[in-house]
Structure 1
């Protein structure tokens, strides 16, 4: 019988692979190379005497033994982190701003990934427009912000890029002789500014019929058949359809998602890395 204890770092790596469904994303989340992640998993599988992850050229999924071990692995890491927290007796605080055009329906998943990285980290998240969050970041009110690329700024780290389009409710019809009704978020929303500028440059008459305090409100206005909105596909409510080509509207660009952070080390940095990897995964899917 092999009584050699499990390598907790390898166990944590296995959990990352299982949660993110990718060796590459697990490497990003743990600030390691892909070869290091593969080696840690291999050693864990050798220690356990079974295959935990099945990998094909396109997919990564758990084996039957891996699915069984996953919950035990999570519980093991939870107990380990709790024991450390009990001894240190302190909780670090991390304040994060996420653009409403970035957070999307995956926000619970993103929070879960950070919590799994460190269950004793006190996380505060603020949702708002990219411009407002960047102002808060510059005033040191936030440790980290994840926003759409802001004109006039070249700082920050590129995370992903997402295509935007013009969307409306499936049964909505535009009256040809009337200005295009548009549902938006108020300025300084960068997406609103870009959409309005492109419509003006194309010579398309438009009017703002709804101004919502967030993407959820704008999506609700779209589904209430008030008009069209510039949205990323990931943000769409069920039943929304792309109408840009049908109405001959200007093509909207792909907009980058950018990370700004002053957090460079320690547990908060690990949580930010895990958040970034999970967000990339959500956007690519």
Structure 2
């Protein structure tokens, strides 16, 4: 019997009560139908199949989302090199009903408890039956490369990371959770520290001590004396920061927004520069 769940961290209850589908698999069809009937009140479409197919639905769905995220991160990099704007590109893509709008936002990479685990698991399952799932393997490698690109972007704003003070906003793998498992933010901060940067980080759901950085309990403390400020998790509260105050606290003027979360106009109005993903860098006008 297989009855995979499709619950997202931070919205698990809502996802359970409003599922896109119910998937049940068993070698005994009557047993599978009985389990599917337990969800009748949820009014969601049901897929009743064999156990192997039900399990593969879960892996196939999560791995497709991972590949979609790796794809949009690669397209964002291409936008920067061609002078295109990722927001216009993904808007145009999203109107296509075959593609949709979800999972089309670039970021520092995908992480958490599901996508890394499931992508590696499906690659291993494929290998066990003699299939080289190179498409999925490439998505995993692209995800690693994205973190390297983020570090390079940050380095480009400060000249050299050795001795640079970097303020980090966000450590969890996504907003609405304190989960640090396979968080791209932790990968990026570890790489910054390995290059000699002094990292000060804040996350509204994460506290305590973490290796390679100083974790503070106020977002403005990350800006104090910082050569660059980096947004790594899409917490909504970061949109509402007082950017004039941030500018007063910073030593440098660079804000690297790896989630394209902030309003560049607010950042620029404070005399800072803004660098997103797949978008042209915006600098405040002198004087």
TM-score (norm 1): 0.29
| Larger relative strand fraction | 1
Q: Which has the larger radius of gyration?
A: 1
Higher relative CO (Cα under 8 Å, sequence separation at least 6) belongs to: 1
TM-score (norm 2): 0.29
